[in-house]
Amino acid sequence: EIVLVTGVQTCALPISLYINEISPDGKLRALGSYRNLTLYDNNSGAELCRLKVILGLVKAIGFSQDNKMLALVLNREVMLCDTKSGAELCRLKGISDLVKAMVFSQDNRMLALLLDTEVMLYDTNSGAELCRLKGISDLVKAIGFSQDNKMLALLLDRSEEHTSELQSPVLS
């Protein structure tokens, strides 16, 4: 048994956790054991919702900037879920390689996935692929959006940085 101590109360959690992720603003916590992924209020410890997934297939998770969506990286796809209800919103398909990193745009309309040799950009509302940046070096360690969501920064090993302007009518 693992005990979660928050500013308000203490709650007991399952011992076999595979996932333990906190939202960017610190308000939500996602905890996963073998078959359940549960979202909690990180301050009170109150359970908000449960997602029924087989966590052995979940490779990573990430919260949107506004905490309204949760992205779950599965084997060859990413599932977007609503954090209030736990309902599946859409699946991002066509992922050909291991997802090394992911990031939501500042407005949560896009999700960028860093693979070994490319970056894939998806519309989070429809699940449609917007574009691919191919020929990315395996030296890329992280990705991030600019504040206006028109640029995607790639952090290379040895602290070299490269930016790519996103060319898509969806971004206008």
Sign of the Cα pseudo-torsion (114, 118, 119, 121, in order): negative
What was the pLDDT predicted at 34?
63
Cα–Cα distance for residue pair 172/166, rounded to 1 Å: 10
What was the pLDDT predicted at 60?
82
pLDDT digits (tens, 9 = 90+) for 23-33: 999 999 998 86
What was the pLDDT predicted at 57?
72
What was the pLDDT predicted at 163?
57
Pick out the chain residues at pLDDT < 50. Answer: 1-3, 5, 8-9, 14-15, 168-172
Sign of the Cα pseudo-torsion (115, 121, 124, 129, in order): negative
pTM: 0.79
Side-by-side strand order, sheet with 151-156:
140-145, 151-156, 161-165
